[in-house]
Amino acid sequence: MTSSIQEKIKILELLNQIKKRKNEQDDFLNFCQKSFSDYIPGWVHVDICRRLEKFAQDVIDKKSPRLMMFMPPRHGKSFHFSERFPAWFLGKYPKGEYISTSYGQTLSEEFSGKCRDLIKEDWIKEIFPKFDLKKDCKSLQKWKTTYGGSFIAGSVDSGITGKGGHIISIDDPHKNGQEALSDTMRNKVINWYKSTVYTRRYKGAGILIIQTRWHEDDLSGYLLRTEPHKWQVVCYPAIATENEINRKRGEALFPELYDLEALQDIKETIGDYNWNAQYQQDPLPASGTLFKREDWRYYDQPFTFYDRIIQTWDFSFKGSEDNDFTVGQVWGKKGVNLYLLDQVRGHWDFPQQIEQVKLLSNKYPLAHAKYIEDKANGSAVISMLKNKISGLIPFNPKTEKFNRGLVVQPLQQAGNIYLPNPKLFPWVPEYVSEMSKFPKAKYDDQFDCTALAVIQLSNDGLERLKALL
């Protein structure tokens, strides 16, 4: 074999190696597989990888792509978007500058650390031979590559001013249900996006939003309402609501991890509102959809004994007709079910409020604990009666009303809350009406007492409430 033929063979082998490496550099799915030996992708992860490949190329071509992707919790969202994608993009586009953000700096820096550590591994040199970290700049908040690329970890609460990005990603801008359901916190995130994120773009840069939906007017909802033409939206509901290319209506998104039985169990636990928002990516408007009239259960005769009986109270400041009602309720627990046993409600001044507490306490002596919402006249009532009536306990829920509604709703939907027969207790229809209109009802005092009772009596009421903090 002549030397010229040998040289041609070497050139062909080298060209094949270059072609193979180029194919690997363009293949984000392959990158994910190499980065994690136990990685077994479902069709949804293949789809995510192909869409992110297209997004990255559009950024390189300076097409200013805008991409939103909605996924349920625990389905590989952060693994792909925030831990692997930035490393792959910076290997593919060595001079790229990547800004990764989330609701909190600690979470963003956790993503940064996992992404940065990938670059130190030997296997990555097989795909991107000269891809390495710059030795004098590799903190969690900011690290650079030897080619001039960079990664910056930011958040809603930490500034990224003075920095620019070819890609700016936002992985869950809202921390939890309480923040997403708070008008103040949602506006904070939206203002952060407009004043900080949007102004950090280089020409042709891409913006990537990955989140689990919490509210119809969260950051993604706001952007889709104000500038829908700018965004490509990809939604992955946990259970398909219609026939799709990769699955039929009613099939699970990633059954290898969460099959239909597991998803149904989650739905029953968290209730329709949370299910539709977080798992189906279809948040319902908070306008009377929480407590359906048909989900209430009724009883004719109370039990002789209950596992536990409590009172709950919500006091107004004044007794005039223009002010809120004062409401006192008596609740019993039997097994897993909760029973509203009695209620008093009226526009009472302070002396009358004191008298109502005495009357209800005498009527239900086994209601040893009397939980009083610590606002309006609540503190004054406790101060006045603490040496006369035992078991007066102040309670400050520390969450917004709608979040407390999310604690009550799964039990009501499951048929675990019973009301007395409306024919025997004429106040029940008004109670159901107020609850059905929540949170848009004129008055919500009956709801406040109900939420307080559920929080105290249900097995995981306090845990549910803490999860929304």
CATH 3.30.420.240, the chain: domain bounds: 293-467
Distance of CA 339 to the CA centre of its chain: 30
N-to-C CA span, the chain: 75
293-467 placed in CATH 3.30.420.240: yes
CA quadruple 30, 31, 34, 38: dihedral positive or negative? Answer: negative
Q: How far is Cα 26 from Cα 150, in angstroms, rounded to an integer? A: 20
Average pLDDT, the chain: 87
pLDDT interval class at 288 (50, 70, 90): very low
| Closest listed residue to residue 85, CA positions, set 155, 31, 22, 21 | 31
Does the pLDDT value for residue 284 go beyond 70? no
15 against 456, higher pLDDT: 456
Most confident of 10-14, 404-408, 440-444: 404-408
pLDDT interval class at 157 (50, 70, 90): confident
Q: Please tell me the least confidently modeled range out of 75-89, 165-179, 211-225, 393-407.
A: 393-407
Residue 44 phi/psi, 5-degree rounding, is -65, -35
Note the pTM of the prediction, 2 decimals: 0.70
Does the pLDDT value for residue 4 go beyond 90? no
Does the pLDDT value for residue 224 go beyond 80? yes
Average pLDDT over residues 175-203: 89
Share of the chain above pLDDT 90, in %: 59
- Listed in sequence order, the DSSP H helices in 341-460 are 350-363, 378-385, 401-413, 428-437, 445-457
Distance of CA 376 to the CA centre of its chain: 31
Q: How far is Cα 404 from Cα 401, in angstroms, rounded to an integer? A: 5
Average pLDDT over residues 230-259: 93
The 3 state secondary structure assigned to 296-326 is: CEEECCCCCCCCEEEEEEECCCCCCCCCCCE
pLDDT interval class at 209 (50, 70, 90): very high
Q: For residue 177, what pLDDT is reported? A: 76
Q: How far is Cα 298 from Cα 295, in angstroms, rounded to an integer? A: 10
Q: How far is Cα 55 from Cα 57, in angstroms, rounded to an integer? A: 6
Does the pLDDT value for residue 19 go beyond 60? no
| Closest listed residue to residue 79, CA positions, set 24, 120, 38 | 38
CATH 3.40.50.300, the chain: domain bounds: 22-279
DSSP state letters, 54-96: HHHHHHHTT---EEEEE--TTSSHHIIIIIIHHHHHHHHSTT-
For 115, the enclosing helix (H) or strand (E) is: helix 105-119
Q: How far is Cα 285 from Cα 181, in angstroms, rounded to an integer? A: 11
Does the pLDDT value for residue 178 go beyond 80? no
Classify domain 22-279 at the CATH topology level.
Rossmann fold (3.40.50)
Report pLDDT digits (tens) over 350-399: 999 999 999 999 999 999 999 998 887 888 999 999 899 999 999 987 77
